[in-house]
Amino acid sequence: MTETADAIIIGTGVIGAATAYELAKLGWKTISVDRNTQAGHGSTSGSCAIIRMHYSTLDGTAFAYEGYHYWRDWADYLEAPDSAALAQFREVGCLVMKTEANGYLEKHMRYSRELNCPLEEWDAAAIVERLPIYDLKRFAPAKRPEDPGFGEPTGGELNGAVFWPNGGYVTDPALSAQNLADAAKAKGGQFRMGVAVTEILRGGGQDGGRVKGVRLSNGEALHAPVVINVGGPASARINEMAGVTGDMTIQTRPLRQEVVHVPAPEGFDFEAQGTIISDSDIGCYCRPEHGNHILVGSEDPACDTHVWVEDDTDYDRDFTEQWRVQAMRYGQRVPSLGIPSRMRGVVDLYDAATDWIPIYDKSALPGFYMACGTSGNQYKNAPIAGKMMAALVAYCEDGKDHDTAPLQFHLPYLDRDIDAGFYSRKREINAESSFSVLG
């Protein structure tokens, strides 16, 4: 028997689960499908789960600041029972070093102030007071250990930073996706786990080529007039399966990433006293990790080669020399950092768009929608991205042409409208993007 629904959502990561929840709240009958056996066990589980407000575009800043409020009010947003085991948001703040590479954060501060998003400007003394383990010598441009001059200061010191006090991180990103899935189920959403999508079903004749559902790896067909691709690193393959890439100026590709876990220097409790830190002078970001560890990731400086993969299920999951590169670059900033011989951390895939800004859009195939290219900098936006995707689907299914008259989406907390066309699949590559994990 073929099961039918109002919408099928491919992917139960944090954004897919949020989309299912938001559509279910609108009364849609949804079926979410995922090749993993539990929600959040794809690339979401490898996310650093950082919640930050600073972006290099106004719309990106507004979206992120709106998203923060849902994490702050997580239990209320989910309408969760008191007994629910929920992911925790630790609001430790986010410190971003002022560097030439980020324009000394002039745009970021201007956009935050325009949105009344709290920030503090810190001088060097304030940075060291909060982080006495830090050495503020300049090392830019970021280098690799084999490069001449690695570890040698290049003159002067960092003389300031901006602190966004509302930044932080979610302690268990996979659990946050499961929380959203449970909230969707409470509203009637259904989930099919452990099955992959092998075909996007299309109508013909009177259907005008409209999407009509998906076929699963177990042979089962699910029918719905709406299918939403939130497949993470599999999104490009699913879009090709649907035959919708022809009019897309923005593409997505799976990108392999390594994240380092190292113990904090002896005598400093980074888990309790640390913060989120973005430091383009050394090309690294970091955050506290449980067990008084520090999680260190790359900000994709020019010296770090992007490792694109062809197969999002078959790739090298072992640590490489990149692990040591990131640890040693961070060690420039923290001279007392111990770099253990045993490599610990995460190896996973990002779903990266051409300009590192996601695609939240319809497609050339009627009824087929996309929330793609979101990895690396969109975890924080999951609740509001799910809400916008639900609004976008409703808008288009009501007969509106999002390509020519884009949805003007209202951000409830900020009481501000944004142009959802900013995330169009057909946009020009955004020159204001950082073209990195920073978005």
| Chain segment 211-249, per-residue pLDDT in tens | 999 999 999 999 999 999 999 999 999 999 999 999 999
Q: How many CB atoms lie within 10 A of CB 398?
A: 7
What are the CA-CA distances from residue 300 to residues 141, 224, 437 (Å)?
12, 40, 7
Strand, coil or helix: 289: strand
For residue 156, what are the CA distances in angstroms to 106, 137, 172, 232, 432? 20, 6, 39, 42, 28
Asked if pLDDT for residue 206 goes beyond 60, the answer is no
Q: Residue 326's closest CA among 285, 298, 346? A: 298
Angle subtended at Cα 335 by Cα 330 and Cα 338, rounded to the nearest 5 degrees: 75
Residue 207 has pLDDT above 60, yes or no: no
Type of residue numbered 174? A
Q: Among the residues of 115-226, which ranges form H helices?
A: 124-130, 173-186
CA–CA dist 397, 409 (Å, integer)? 16
pLDDT digits (tens, 9 = 90+) for 407-425: 999 999 999 999 999 999 9
| Total Cβ atoms within 10 A of residue 204 | 9
Asked if 127 contacts 135 with a C-beta cutoff of 8 angstroms, the reply is no
pLDDT, tens digit, 9 for 90 and up, residues 348-378: 999 999 998 999 999 999 999 999 999 777 9
Q: What DSSP line would sit under 231-269, residue for residue?
A: -GGGHHHHHHHHT--TT-SS-EEEEEEEEEEEEPPTT--
pTM summary value = 0.96
CA atoms within 13 A on the CB side of 438: 25
Instruction: Give dist(CA 110, CA 129) in Å, integer.
Output: 26
pLDDT at 1 over 60: no
Residue 404 exposed, middle or buried by CB count within 10 Å (0-12, 13-18, 19+): exposed
Question: For position 431, what pLDDT does the model report?
Answer: 72
- Structural domains of the chain, with CATH: 3-84+172-251+355-423 (3.50.50.60), 90-167+253-350 (3.30.9.10)
Q: Are 314 and 305 in contact (CB under 8 A)?
A: no
Pull the structure tokens for residue 265. 């220097």
Give the model confidence (pLDDT) of 277-333 as tens digits: 999 999 999 999 999 999 999 999 999 999 999 999 999 999 999 999 999 999 999
Position 435 confidence tier, pLDDT thresholds 50, 70, 90: low
Where do the H-state alpha helices sit in 116-210?
124-130, 173-186
- Contact yes or no for 410/388 (Cβ under 8 A): no
